Amino acid sequence: MTGTTNDERLMYAAPSSFVDSSFFVELSRLKLNVLKLDTSYQQIVGYYNYNSLSQNQNPALNLRDSSLKSISDLTEVLPKHSYFLSNGKLLNVNSVEEFKNLNKKDLLTELAMTIFNGIKDESFLSNPQLLSSFTILSYCDLKNYSFYYWFAFPQFQSNWLKIDMSHSINYRFDRSQSFTEQFYILNETDDELIPISKLLDYSSIDKCKILFVDTCSLEYTVSFILRNFLFALSYYNFKNVEFQVLKVNHPSFNFTINLENEDYNSGIFDNPSYIPPISGWERTSRGKLGPKVADLGALIDPLQLANQAIDLNLQLMKWRLVPELNLLSVKNSKVLILGSGTLGSYIGRCLLAWGVRKITFVDNGKVSFSNPVRQPLYNYEDCLNGGSSKAETAAVNMKKIFPLVDATGHSLHIPMIGHPIKDEEKEFNDYNKLLKLYEEHDAVFLCLDSREARWLPTLLGNAMDKIVINSALGFESYLVMRHGCIDSKKGINEQVDGRLGCYFCNDIVAPKNSMTDRTLDQMCTVTRPGVALMASSLATELFVSILQTPNGNYSKHIVNDRSNILGSLPHQIRGFLHNFEILKVSSDNFKYCTACSVKVVEEFQNSGWEFIKKSLNEETYLENLTGLKAFHERAERAAFIMDDYDDESGLEDNID
């Protein structure tokens, strides 16, 4: 053995940190969805490699996404027999000012005293990882995807001397051997490893032998963790200790150290308020004390950034304003928009802002030059060459806004009540496509140009238990309403009146063809430009509010009731711009409604397309089926009686 000069100071390698980008991705998710404004300590776990160190490497604490989960999650992805775990705490603050102004000295002292207390109560013997504890002070700028962080590795300062050193160790290391701890007691023959939990049994011997498995590859230098271990030995009055420093795959060495130090004289530990000299904040690559910044905006997949950015504003609602908001129910909803014009375009954009990922457009028109200024999903190029398909173009342009949205467009004609069938094969195919789309979606927005085009979608929504939101525009007015729904858990004969009405429940005649003999101002949607935006936003907000209620589609008309997370849940919203008035009204279903009455739904469920075909081709079929015609006849008889008799009881006898 070749010795060194006596009374030489022991050299320690400062720790460094290596944080994988996956850690910050997981931290951003945790901050946004779980921690929110919580600034309490979070338990994390890192690891030091000892079996795959490069030349002249300082001990490096590694963190990855599973460091924020559990020890089992982390060890599952690490190669076996190559690392030591280290437990730490994460303090994530809410502003960059808080990050700058936090008392770093107090934070370091707090963690160091945790280690000191673990030494005093002997818990470090059963948990030696305590000696390598660390803290991360961090701030997440989620908007710019920048992360400010600063590691603290508490170390007890000392001036101990090594009194002898050699360039080899006596312990015979088998390369197939693995270690679970960094410290072991060696027996007298250096061939048996004794758990460090037995350490205090050796405090009275002349020279205790310790095997230290180092995580530093620097020559004749040891990892910082040995500082804390030496401090623990000093606390328990160890005098001379021989260390065999094993550096796997690198030159090992042996040294003896004298722990009789004036800094830690006998009696100093008896003072309960004593705080040992401490250091430990990590230095930058330039050797200065200061935090690091990870700017991941340029490194992470732009699609992933876009995906998280969309969720950002939504999740922030849950931090203070609406903690109970169920965003998952909104995000997972599959939405069908019938009509891809002004209303459909704005509703599509609004749904996207709410995080809806599955949106399907249906329209049979083409983009015209008058559309782009009023309909935000189209531009000038879409009007060229006769105009592109509205539904398909709307879906394409939604993907340009957010590429990860599942947006599709279908160009098809919806069979309309009052419009006799001309091409049965085509209309039957369109009907089947529409039926399939209803089966694949949870909610339907009716944004169609004519009243009669809404009849079949209204019927399907009721028969198939879908959320149906109907929007209609006037010149300076609008209507937004949610359709009531037959209870799918009950048989058709068990249905009772009293549910909310649909768009057709106020009609006293079956829908007619309103598209013939129209002037230009009747063929175009003539409305004040801001009306569509108002109606579209209210329609979307009404849809989201439905999803937040326990009764969902079956919820009653709710006004001024905070029992619903988002407040009121009206049946109808009617707005008037001439006096800027908004009314919230409600009406029950009409017993003889041609779109949602029990008889209509029952006949559709029994006959399907044959019922639809008969309804379209025979003008009086629906009125006869529902009893609406008989209702008119009774009303006419009552009117006749009123002309002959001014008797209220007679009126009551003739109208049931």
Helix, strand or coil, per DSSP, at residue 270 = helix
Beta bridge partners of 480: 471, 573
38-60 burial code (b ≥16 CB/10 A, e <16):
eeeebebbbbbbbbebeeebbbb
Label the pairing between strands 193-195 and 60-63: unpaired
Tell me the CATH number of domain 323-618, given options 3.30.950.10, 3.40.50.2300, 3.40.50.720, 3.40.50.150. 3.40.50.720
Is position 524 annotated as part of the catalytic site? yes
Lowest mean pLDDT among 241-250, 282-291, 301-310: 301-310
- Rounded Cα distance between 170 and 379, Å, is 79
The pLDDT assigned to 514 comes to: 58
Break the chain into its structural domains and give their ranges. 11-152+283-295, 161-281, 323-618, 620-656
432-441 burial code (b ≥16 CB/10 A, e <16):
ebbbebbeeb
Return the HEC string of 401-450. HCCCCEEEEEECCCCCCCCCCCCHHHHHHHHHHHHHHHHHCCEEEECCCC
| pTM of the full structure | 0.82
The 10s digit of each residue's pLDDT in 624-635 is 999 887 776 676
Is-contact 242 169, C-beta < 8 A? no
**Residue 473 is which amino acid?**
L
Q: Which of 108, 13, 21 is nearest to 67 (CA)?
A: 21
- Count H helices and E strands in the chain, helices first: 19, 25
Is-contact 156 304, C-beta < 8 A? no
- Rounded Cα distance between 446 and 452, Å, is 12
The residue annotated as part of the active site, out of 216, 383, 447, 524, is: 524
The 10s digit of each residue's pLDDT in 209-262 is 999 999 999 998 999 999 999 999 989 989 889 999 999 888 899 998 888 765
Q: Which of 192, 196, 177 is nearest to 241 (CA)?
A: 196
Is-contact 86 108, C-beta < 8 A? no
The 10s digit of each residue's pLDDT in 155-214 is 998 877 777 778 878 777 776 678 889 999 998 877 789 999 999 999 888 889 999 999
Is-contact 322 371, C-beta < 8 A? no
The pLDDT assigned to 488 comes to: 67
535-574 burial code (b ≥16 CB/10 A, e <16):
bbbbbbbbbbbbbbbeeebbbebbeeeeebbbbebbbbbb
Query: Model confidence at 1, in pLDDT bands (50, 70, 90)?
Result: very low
CATH placement of domain 11-152+283-295: 3.40.140.70
Neighbours of 462 (CB within 10 A): 26
Asked whether the CA dihedral 223, 224, 225, 230 is positive or negative, the reply is positive
DSSP letter at 262 equals G
- Rounded Cα distance between 330 and 357, Å, is 9
Q: How far apart are the first and last CA of the chain?
A: 114
Would you say residue 143 has pLDDT above 70? yes
The pLDDT assigned to 271 comes to: 82
Helix, strand or coil, per DSSP, at residue 302 = helix
Would you say residue 308 has pLDDT above 90? no
282-292 burial code (b ≥16 CB/10 A, e <16):
beeeeeeeebe
Average pLDDT over residues 355-367: 97
The pLDDT assigned to 516 comes to: 55
The pLDDT assigned to 619 comes to: 87
